[in-house]
Chains A and B, each alone.
Chain A
Amino acid sequence: MSFFGPLLDPATLPDPKQVATPLFILFVLIELTLVHRRRLKGDYETRDTLTSLIMGTGSVLGGVLLGGLGYLCLLGAYDMRLTTIQTTPLSLFLLFLLDDMRFYWGHRFSHRIRWFWADHVIHHSSQHYNLSTALRQPWLSGISGMFLLQTPLALIGFHPAALVFVGALNLVYQFWIHTEAVGRFPRWFEAVFNTPSHHRVHHARNAKYLDANYAGTLIVWDRLFGSFIPEDDAEPAEYGLVKNLGTFNPLRVATHEYVGILKDVAQRGLTIRQRLAYFLAPPGWSHDGSRMTSDELKRRDEERKKQNEKTTVRAAD
């Protein structure tokens, strides 16, 4: 027993994802049934759902096969820790909050740096938004280097197993917010927590909604760091990518952005700086300006809307 409550052995913490998997399957079946019977709002399509589920299964396999490197780095950082923070229920709660902010920044980088986007794009590649979309997860996260963002927490003194535990708990929380079945919760809840409404905005391909609501569990980080956009009933979310995929093949879904990067980098006549930018610049950046980043898409969308407003006012006059 410590000041923070009973001591826990970090090595015996359960894997929340594995524990929750039977419930994920059950809830997908329930949502699918109720959506089909028109009792709930939503949309399911066989091949889309199958791809999402295969991506989810593959991500577990990928995590085991490729996750070792990241875990070794965390163990290395933990060996150099400033202090030792015992694993207790309270310290896990504090770690969950800190790690939720880590998730926020990692997620934000995943949308703003193409190398990380190549991994995260998989989660956004469905044109549907239902509980099965939550399970559409990348296979190659282990090589993305995203674990580096967890190392400060290990350096402070949190055990790597505890870090993995709270990270997985965060992902389990995010399962239920992938639904169109829920409208909005009471204002206090929407103010503090990430909800279906906030996350629908995050999955939308409408220019207005791009690059917003990166939260894992607490939406407060978006409010704090200026990336919050509320769901606008006048502009329903359209889900998917700016350029949607023309395949349901899980292998292509898992690797398409990496292939895109390689193709871009291999173009003839580029400077080293331009080649690097194809890895590190925001998605949509191109050396010849032939594509658009989300910032440019947003700007153009605003201009168009202003133009339309002017035309409407003129017509009314």
Chain B
Amino acid sequence: MPLPVFIAVGLAACAVIAAYAHWLGRSARQTLSDTEDALRLFQAACPDLEARQARLAGDRHAALVMLENGDAGLLYAMGSKWMARDLPAGSIKAVKRLSANRLRLILADYTMPRLTIALADENERERWIEAMENAARPPERGPIERKATA
């Protein structure tokens, strides 16, 4: 099969399978039941960080976690799985208020460039921004990612 045809057929197959998965209802995002749930999931993903408190997003697809070291952390539903990150100084490039209850975070992380978070109301939105203030500040030294890959 010539390459362009193979690629066209491949992309068509991608679209068909994705549409089928969506039609089956496999696009639903994971939801947090309560703050305990958020802390447990964050701790499991980042065992080196001490999670103290959590605030749930309005749609329960994300949680802001306050860490023992004073930084904030974030738990975010990536489809049916979770992704967790700490947010040290310099990790947030910009915070955009999309609406009264929606925030967009632009992050200094190539593997997590932007996230949209739905919050209960304007008050809650401002509380989140306040809690992430340190993460939006430039780091004291050069940005050194604290990550381990394996």
Contact = CB atoms under 8 A, between A and B. Distances in A.
Given A25-B17, A252-B111, A46 B27 contact: yes
Interface residues of A, number: 64
Interface stretch (B3-11, B50-58, B127-135): B3-11
A57 B80 contact: no
A20 B45 CA distance: 37
A57 B24 contact: no
B17 A49 contact: yes
21 contacts: A18-B6, A32-B17, A46-B22, A46-B27, A48-B78, A57-B7, A57-B11, A60-B7, A128-B81, A210-B150, A241-B150, A242-B148, A242-B150, A245-B112, A248-B78, A252-B110, A256-B111, A263-B145, A284-B148, A286-B144, A291-B146
Interface in B102-150: 107, 109-113, 115, 142, 144-150
A246 B115 contact: yes
Interface stretch (A2-10, A151-159, A180-188, A292-300): A292-300
A223 to B, nearest CB: 22
A243 B149 contact: yes
B82 to A, nearest CB: 8
A257 interface: yes
Contacts, number: 154
A199 interface: no
Interface in B1-37: 1, 3, 6-7, 10-11, 13-14, 17-18, 20-22, 24-27
Contacts of A259: 110
B21 A245 contact: no
Contact of B14 (A45, A57, A127, A264): A57
Interface in B64-101: 76, 78-81, 83-85
Interface of B: 1, 3, 6-7, 10-11, 13-14, 17-18, 20-22, 24-27, 45, 47, 76, 78-81, 83-85, 107, 109-113, 115, 142, 144-150
Contact of A61 (B7, B85, B115): B7
Given A127-B81, A246-B78, A46 B18 contact: yes
A175 B109 CA distance: 32
Interface in A36-94: 36, 43-50, 53-54, 56-57, 60-61, 64
B47 to A, nearest CB: 8
Contacts of B142: 267-268
A252 B150 contact: no
A185 B83 CA distance: 33
Interface of A: 18, 21, 25, 28-29, 32-33, 36, 43-50, 53-54, 56-57, 60-61, 64, 111, 117, 121, 127-128, 132, 205, 210-211, 240-249, 252, 256-257, 259-260, 263-264, 267-268, 282-284, 286, 288, 290-294, 296-297, 304
Contacts of A284: 147-150
Contact of A240 (B25, B81, B110): B81
Most chain B beta-carbon contacts within 10 A, residue among A50, A240, A248: A50
A127 B13 CA distance: 22
Nearest to A128: B81
Given A288-B144, A291-B146, A291-B147, A244 B14 contact: no
Contact of A36 (B3, B24, B110): B24
Contact of B76 (A127, A205, A246, A249): A246
Contact of B80 (A43, A132, A257): A43
Contact of B148 (A47, A245, A297): A297
A252 B109 CA distance: 11
A249 B110 CA distance: 11
Nearest to A295: B150
Contact of A243 (B10, B79, B81, B148): B148
Contact of B10 (A57, A128, A246): A57
A47 B149 contact: no
Contacts of B18: 46-47, 49-50, 53
Contacts of A45: 21, 26-27, 79-81
A107 to B, nearest CB: 14
Given A49-B21, A56-B10, A283-B150, A267 B144 contact: yes
